Amino acid sequence: MTPDALRVLLDAVAAGTLAPGEAASQLSDPHETDLGFAVVDQHRAARQGLPEVVFGEGKRPEHIVAIAEALLARKQNVFITRLDDAKRAAVAAALPGARVNDVARTLAVECTPPVAVEDFRAVVVCAGTSDLPVFEECCETLHAAGIAHDRVTDVGVAGIHRLFARMDTFRDADAIVVVAGMEGALPSVIGGLVSCPVVAVPTSIGYGAGAGGYAALLGMLTSCASGITVCNIDNGFGAAIALHRIVRARRRP
């Protein structure tokens, strides 16, 4: 049960439109669904504000579908990451109404639209077109979390004038995710120009000495712009969840 659903339930008890016994019955639903090959965390939305997200890599399509159906049976939205082409096709065929993003390699099924986060706007930036899969994964995750965001693409430091042309967008942001490969310089540049939280995501894009994203990772970790948060290589999902945690901390009474 999501925090919003819990508040509706408690308000109904307070208003006398729902018997306490019925409310207790709804609250006593099991917090997990044991499928044998997976134990689906049905309580994560109540704890963290988002249902369990399914990591598709390494899972069989039929297992992914079964996990998704277990979430949908409890009226939980489904969000699946890292689906290759074959798995996306198989899972989409089994889940009518799914929204698929081929670049992000994600699939989503929404029982209800994500609750929009008010008074918070993110910006997601990528250095180059080759970074788009990680960029799109971040954007899709932000959508699942209800976080509005602007998208800025292909503004890497090789043509830094493109970045400066978008400074008004950056100055108005409450948080910025910066996705970059090669030497990973873009988060340092942006981090030195803004005061809001900056979450950097190194990608595995680059030539030989880039070492599959390690050069970008180390560059971001040693950034001279203080206070940048750095995620793992290619982890656009993790960057979006970092913003989700910031949002939840800001909304605490």
Residues 89-134 have pLDDT tens digits of 999 999 999 999 999 999 999 988 988 998 899 999 999 999 999 9
More confident residue, 198 or 29: 198
Identify whether residues 48 and 132 lie together within a single domain: no
Domain assignment of residue 17, yes or no: no
Length of the chain: 253
pLDDT of residue 29: 63
Identify whether residues 82 and 165 lie together within a single domain: no
Sorting pLDDT into bands at 50, 70 and 90, what band is 203? very high
- Entry pTM: 0.87
Domain assignment of residue 134, yes or no: yes
Identify whether residues 125 and 104 lie together within a single domain: no
Identify whether residues 102 and 125 lie together within a single domain: no
Domain assignment of residue 232, yes or no: yes
Q: How far apart are CA 97 and CA 32, in angstroms?
A: 25
CATH number, domain at 150? Answer: 3.40.50.1970
47-84: b (≥16 Cβ within 10 Å) or e:
eebbbbbbebeebebebbbbbbbbbbebebbbbbbbbe
Domain assignment of residue 220, yes or no: yes
More confident residue, 11 or 57: 57
Report the Cα 24 to chain-centroid distance in Å. 32
Identify whether residues 136 and 237 lie together within a single domain: yes
Closest CA to 236 of 102, 117, 139, 156: 139
Q: DSSP code of 102?
A: T
Identify whether residues 147 and 175 lie together within a single domain: yes
CA dist list (Å): 182 to 53, 137, 229? 29, 19, 18
End-to-end CA distance of the chain: 20
**Token match 């706007």: residue?**
121
Identify whether residues 97 and 208 lie together within a single domain: no
Domain that residue 158 falls in: 121-251
Identify whether residues 189 and 211 lie together within a single domain: yes
Domain assignment of residue 19, yes or no: no
Identify whether residues 150 and 177 lie together within a single domain: yes
Sorting pLDDT into bands at 50, 70 and 90, what band is 47? confident
Sorting pLDDT into bands at 50, 70 and 90, what band is 252? low
Sorting pLDDT into bands at 50, 70 and 90, what band is 15? confident
Identify whether residues 37 and 132 lie together within a single domain: no
Q: Which of 63, 83, 109 is the endpoint of a domain?
A: 109
- Angle CA(43)–CA(47)–CA(52) in degrees, nearest 5? 55
